[in-house]
Amino acid sequence: MIVGHLTPSSQGVPAGSGGGALLSTAVVVAGLALAVTAVLPWAGLTAEFGLTGTELTQAIRGIDKGPGWFVLGAGLAATLLGVLGVTRSRLFTGFAILPGAVAALALAMFLTDPQDWGRRLSFRVPGLVDVHPTVEYGWFAALIASIVVAALSAATLLRARPGPGRR
């Protein structure tokens, strides 16, 4: 009995299989998640009433402002690049780092308040009412998704480049 014929050969494994396809699929999922976060609440104006112990929040979704549309587009672009990475070359998946960076920049732009609305909308009557702007969960979800897209893309680029002893 010859055991050597039963063990699989590593020479016949295609370059785009294995972990590369898994990373590309993960970029597709993270890109879709990034696109979905654009419709979640990113910010709000919260009024806390001291006498009744209640609060009321008016939320702003990401797509209610310009940066939300950039995040939506970046998520869709990352998804497309991930699909191209699965079907064509892992290099496409590596390029998804750019939409991840664009989304992070758009999120930072959303928080900058050039017209200083936050300070003008905030007011407080001690014991009665406290009105202030808040950052909602959708903004944080978008930030995490943009970081995940960028990290997975970078991992794909690092995995795709030839290292010592590989060609």
Sequence-distant (≥ 6) Cβ neighbours of residue 75 within 8 angstroms: 31, 32, 33, 34, 35, 36, 37, 38, 99, 103, 145, 149
Average pLDDT, the chain: 80
Q: Which of 165, 129, 155, 134 is nearest to 51 (CA)?
A: 129
- Predicted TM-score (pTM) above 0.75: no
Residues 149 and 145: their CA atoms lie apart, in Å, by: 6
Q: Is the pLDDT higher at 78 or at 127?
A: 78
Segments forming the whole domain that contains residue 149? 19-159
In a domain, 98, yes or no: yes
In a domain, 141, yes or no: yes
CATH code: domain of residue 120: 1.20.140
Q: Which of 85, 59, 61 is nearest to 71 (CA)?
A: 61
Find the farthest-apart pair of alpha carbons in the chain and give their distance in angstroms, rounded. Answer: 88
State residue 132's pLDDT score.
Answer: 75
* Residue pLDDT, tens place only, 113-137: 655 555 556 666 777 777 878 888 9
Does residue 147 register a pLDDT over 80? yes
In a domain, 140, yes or no: yes
For the chain, how many structural domains are there in total? 1
Does residue 5 register a pLDDT over 70? no
